[in-house]
Amino acid sequence: MTQTQSISFAGGFYDAPVAASHAFRAAMTAMARPGDIKVIEGAQPPKGLSVAAGSLLLTLCDPETAIFLASDVDSPELRGWLTFHTGAPFAPAEKADFAIGGWEALTPLDQFKIGTAEYPDRSATLVVEMPELSNAGPILSGPGIKETARLSLPSLTEFQGNAQLFPLGLDFFFTSGSQVAALPRSTSVMAED
């Protein structure tokens, strides 16, 4: 118990305003340029969560945002760490503003909020932990992409289905180590030829 607490208190941003500004720039650039892989760091989350995912959550989450932890990342240590550093409440998938986990554990996607016709922004953002990220695989096109881009997505059909919902839908960050990439709902996804 004592050990859990000492882990929870550690690993936050050093000089939070500056660390968060750097982390946000990486996140924003990734979301504005789907497929671009950026470095995002600053947080030292407990074992089981990447530096990138931890840094994203510290940058974007607070008492106003509900977090869903998928079964593969959920742990008392992570809960303690997030509560201490963000104050964000935990929620089931259907109420989450942010959801974190590996791809298998996060699916099916239809359990998450996709926004409403008048407020498409009221949708969940998924942070998908990946073994690695690379500019290979499915072909991306749409806003933020000059011609086409490639990203090692964990699936094809789910993202195609999500793009069909536009302007509703989910937005994704993919994290691995200290790297982040993103796929907003506005991106079209095609199989590689």
* Residues in contact with another protein by the rule CB under 8 A: 16-18, 20-22, 24-25, 27-29, 31-33, 59-62, 64-65, 117-121, 123, 125, 142-146, 166-167, 171, 184-186
Q: Supply the minimum distance, in Å, between the C-beta of residue 5 and another protein.
A: 23
Q: Which is nearer to another protein, 26 or 133 (CB)?
A: 26
First-to-last alpha carbon distance for the chain, in angstroms, is: 53
**Residue 142, Ramachandran bin (φ over 0: left; ψ between -120 and 50: alpha; else beta):** left
In the bound complex, what is the minimum distance in angstroms from residue 76's beta carbon to another protein?
Answer: 25
Backbone angles phi, psi at 68, to 5 degrees: -110, 125
Our CB check for another protein shows the closer of 41 and 171 to be 171
- Least Å distance, CB 140 to another protein, is 12
Closer residue to another protein in complex, CB, 15/104 = 15
3-state secondary structure of 77: helix
Q: Are 88 and 114 in contact (CB under 8 A)?
A: no
> Please, which residue, 52 or 77, has the CB nearer to another protein?
52
Q: Is 69 helix (H, G, I), strand (E, B) or coil?
A: strand
Closest to 173 in 3D by CA, of 15, 4, 13, 35: 35
Check: CB of residue 112 under 8 Å from CB of residue 124.
yes
Q: 77 or 171: whose CB is closer to another protein?
A: 171
Q: How far is the CB of 14 from another protein (least distance, A)?
A: 13
> Per this entry, what is the length of the chain?
193
Which of 114, 103, 113, 111 shows the shortest CA–CA distance to 156? 103
- In the complex, what is the shortest distance from the CB of residue 75 to another protein, in angstroms, rounded to a whole number? 24
**Shortest distance, CB of residue 89 to another protein, whole angstroms?**
15
